[in-house]
Every structure is written in C-alpha cells, then in structure tokens.
C-alpha cells in the first residue's frame, strides 16, 4: 500500500482509516484491570459470587413451620498487587542507576555546543524520572509514547524541546503505522478534551514531513483551529522541519506478569477461600445432639454445660488439616517469583541471610538482573531513537549552525542493573589494587560508590599527595 500518497492526500477520512490499533496477547482493558488490584477477578461478584443462605427469623407461620429469610453472606476477597510488585521491581533493577546515554560528539567547537544544548534539554525534562515512567507504562500497559514539541524560551536559543508522555491509562489511543519492513512511517494519537463540559475527540498524525491536527465536529473530522504562543493562527498541515517523526513509540506484546497471571489468580482464590474457612472454623463450634438444660454464665470459672440424659456434645473439627493449603500458597508464591524472574525480598526471606559476599549477592539477584538486561534490547533502542531525534531537532531548528554535525553524533546507551553491593569488601579490593600499582587513583575514585563529585575528589587527593611530596623538600631547603 502506498501510505505516503494517502497521508499526503486531502481526504481526512482515508488518512484516519490507515491507522489501526496494534494487536497484543491480551486486551489493553484486561491488562489495566490486572495491574490495578481492585480490577482483579477476585473482586468480581459475577466470577466470585457472594453466598445466599436461609436464615431463621425465630417466627412460626400459620402451618407451624419456621419462617426464614434469604440473607447474603459476603465472601472473602483478598487481592494481591503482585503485578504492580513485579513491574516496580523490574523498573527499580533497570533504572535505579540512571541511564548512561554514552553520547559521542565531534571533538570540535560545534560538538561542544551540541553537547551543552542536548544536556540542557535532558536535564530540564528530568529524563531520569521520565524514563522510569515510560518504562513502567510500557511494562504495565504494553505501549506508550513520548511526544516532543518546541517551546519558546524567550531568549537565545529561541526554542527548546519539551516532552509529553501518552498512554492508554492517560486516555490516549495510540496508532503506530509501520511499513512492510517494520519501520515507523507515521504515528497517530486519538484523545478527548473537555470543552464547555463536552468531550471533543481529537486526532493527531505525526510524519517526517508534516504534522496533522484534526478535531471532530458534528460527526466529521476537520482541521483543528490552532494558534501559536503569540495568538497567531497556525496554518495546517504543520511543516516538520526536523524531518523525523516527533514521537517515539515504546511497545511490547504482553505485560511483565503475563506468564504468571493464572498463578496469581489461583493464589488470590486460595487465600480468599482459606479466609472464608477461618471465618467458619477459626472459632470452636459446639455441636449438640439432644436437649441443653443449662449454660454456664459468661466468664464463670469451671464452666459446665448441662445436657439431658441422652444428649451429646462435641466440637466440630476439620477432618483435613490446612497443611495442603499452606503448601499450595507457598508453592504458588515461589513459582510466581521464580518464573517472572522477580526477587523475593520480603522480610521473612532476607532476615536470615546475614553478611553475603559480593559474589553471593550477585548470584542471589542473577535472575532479576538477567530479566532487566533482556528488556534493555527494546528499551535502549527507544532511548537511542529519542537521542537521534533530539540531535536532529537541535541541528535543524534550535541551532541550524549545528546541522552539519548531526550525522556525527551518535548514542550507545548503557543500562546498568542495580545489584546490592558489599561496599566494605569493594573498598578493600580497590585499596589493595591501588597499593599494588594495578589501579590508578582515578580508577579507584571513579568506581567508589561513596563518592558523589568524582572530579572534585580526584583533585583533592592529588593536592594532598603533592603536599606530602613537595612539603618535606621545601622544609629541608629552608633549614639549609
């Protein structure tokens, strides 16, 4: 299909029909319900109905039969936010240590200017925090996007770049349009804005050539009436001078907990059923066959229950002890954590660990680390695209004098999974390596996790070492 000619065509309806929601292994609504604990099946009164019982009113009808009423007994509903726990831990392992963008610039004045502008954009957009939000939404919603747009600065340079994150849970429908080679050739976003109490549908299309902004009026799509910061009307379609789609789309086929969802459902059901059982049998139940002649008073010492001659009384007890239930709960928890490559760092699990070596800590979290590294191949690719987009925007719009070096700037992001470290052992190794002359003072400081300002620390150490070397020599000369 010739997508480009349709996108360049004036027929709005044809353009919009090009865009279809991508297919996932589960629906986005099911994914949303699984991530939010109150959306779990255990709280669904159709899938887990309450119990209806006949309750004696203590009255007798005209036929001498006891009068009963139907009463509802609420069953236990215990939801476990395991999906959120899995996602939060994966984000923590991947991005607790901020991404090293590892950007290479030309070694000249233009390269320095490009670096300064790009680092300023990344800092102003709080990218370390926004990256966590993007990754969390990708893992929990299966897709999200980051839109980039120009914003006036009121100074020099005239414009800077700002970003906006869009996703299903934020009220957006995302439509990536890809060619037969799986390359993104256009991106669209559908959303609603409330105007005078009425929700109005909007549809934005982003391409490398133009941006199209549409609004639905009386059931038909038309160009949206937009104005710039000075109140001037913006002519549509809007030319894209960056020549790259001003959106980066992040996607995966299923949420992080997809493979263990059935186990989470079963665990919630088992724990809830066990809670119901405790409600019935947690307190002793006395079954009496025959007539009760008298009760002991509440709080009376040496309590006695007076029965008729042929009456019998026994406490009801479970014929099957709950050991099998406990075993099933433990097995399910173990499988959920292990098969989702999630570290179980609950208090009961870690309280008896003691002091572990650096190697033992690494092995303890190896599964979570490997899961984080496997996610790197898709997430880091999106980060690379964003840096390339920002570099192009800087060179073609913000500072056109830098356009000539756009192709010379490239990014190889490094994601370092977080692993708890034995800092005492690490510092001891660094100290011994430095004393033996196999590690420089710069390398020691660079790898020391306790140092915040590494350059300042290196300068301080060098000054201290110079004082130790030069000081005695000066003193000797004065004595002479």
Spatial contact of 263 and 335, defined as CB atoms under 8 Å apart: yes
pLDDT of 269: 94
Question: How far, in Å, CA of 167 to CA of 135, rounded?
Answer: 12
At 419, list the tokens: 């692993």
pLDDT of 211-259, one tens digit each? 999 999 888 999 998 887 777 888 889 999 999 999 999 999 999 999 9
Q: Which residues pair with 174 in a beta bridge?
A: 189
Q: Exposed, middle or buried: residue 69 (CB in 10 Å: 0-12, 13-18, 19+)?
A: exposed
C-alpha distances out from residue 333 to 43, 151, 275, Å: 20, 49, 17
pLDDT of 392-416, one tens digit each? 999 999 999 999 999 999 999 999 8
Of 59-68, 354-363, 444-453, the range with the lowest mean pLDDT is 354-363
Ordered by start, the domain boundaries in the chain are 3-28+81-256+370-411, 423-479
DSSP 8-state code for residue 275: H
pLDDT of 347-376, one tens digit each? 566 555 555 555 566 666 777 778 888 888
pLDDT of 418: 79
pTM of this prediction? Answer: 0.81
Question: How far, in Å, CA of 253 to CA of 206, rounded?
Answer: 23
Question: How far, in Å, CA of 240 to CA of 208, rounded?
Answer: 6
């Amino acid at each position: 299909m010739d997508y480009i000619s349709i996108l360049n065509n004036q027929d709005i309806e044809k353009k919009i029909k090009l865009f279809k929601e991508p297919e996932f292994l589960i629906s986005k609504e099911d994914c949303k319900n699984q991530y939010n604990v109150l959306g779990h099946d255990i709280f669904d009164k159709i899938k887990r109905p309450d119990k209806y019982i006949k309750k004696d009113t203590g009255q007798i009808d005209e036929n001498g039969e006891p009068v009963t009423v139907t009463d509802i007994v609420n069953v236990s509903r215990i939801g476990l936010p395991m999906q959120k726990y899995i996602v939060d831990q994966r984000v923590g392992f991947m991005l607790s240590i901020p991404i090293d963008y590892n950007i290479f610039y030309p070694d000249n004045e233009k390269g320095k200017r490009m670096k300064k502008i790009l680092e300023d954009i990344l800092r102003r957009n709080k990218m370390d925090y926004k990256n966590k939000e993007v990754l969390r939404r990708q893992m929990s919603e299966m897709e999200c996007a980051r839109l980039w747009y120009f914003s006036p600065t009121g100074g020099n340079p005239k414009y800077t770049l700002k970003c906006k994150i869009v996703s299903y849970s934020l009220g957006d429908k995302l439509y990536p349009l890809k060619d037969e080679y799986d390359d993104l050739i256009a991106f669209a976003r559908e959303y609603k804005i409330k105007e005078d109490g009425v929700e109005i549908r909007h549809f934005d299309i982003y391409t490398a050539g133009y941006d199209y902004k549409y609004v639905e009026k009386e059931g038909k799509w038309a160009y949206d009436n937009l104005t710039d910061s000075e109140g001037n009307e913006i002519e549509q379609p809007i030319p894209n001078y960056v020549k790259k789609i001003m959106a980066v789309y992040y996607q995966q086929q299923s949420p992080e907990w997809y493979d263990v969802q059935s186990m989470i459902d079963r665990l919630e059901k088992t724990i809830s059923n066990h809670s119901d059982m405790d409600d019935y049998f947690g307190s002793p139940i006395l079954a009496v066959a025959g007539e009760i002649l008298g009760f002991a008073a509440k709080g009376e010492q040496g309590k006695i229950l007076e029965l008729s001659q042929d009456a019998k009384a026994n406490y009801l007890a479970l014929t099957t002890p709950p050991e099998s239930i406990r075993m099933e709960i433990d097995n399910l928890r173990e499988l959920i954590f292990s098969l989702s490559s999630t570290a179980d760092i609950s208090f009961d699990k870690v309280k008896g660990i003691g002091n572990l070596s650096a190697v033992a800590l690494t092995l303890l979290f190896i599964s979570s680390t490997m899961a984080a590294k496997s996610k790197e191949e898709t997430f880091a690719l999106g980060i690379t695209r964003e840096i390339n987009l920002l570099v192009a925007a800087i060179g073609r719009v913000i500072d056109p004098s830098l356009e000539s070096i756009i192709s010379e700037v490239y990014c190889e992001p490094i994601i370092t999974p977080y692993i708890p470290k034995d800092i005492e052992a690490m510092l001891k190794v660094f100290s011994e390596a430095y004393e033996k002359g196999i590690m420089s003072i710069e390398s020691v400081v660079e790898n020391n996790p306790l140092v915040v300002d590494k350059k300042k620390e290196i300068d301080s150490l060098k000054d201290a070492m110079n004082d130790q070397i030069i000081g005695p020599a000066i003193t000797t000369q004065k004595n002479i």
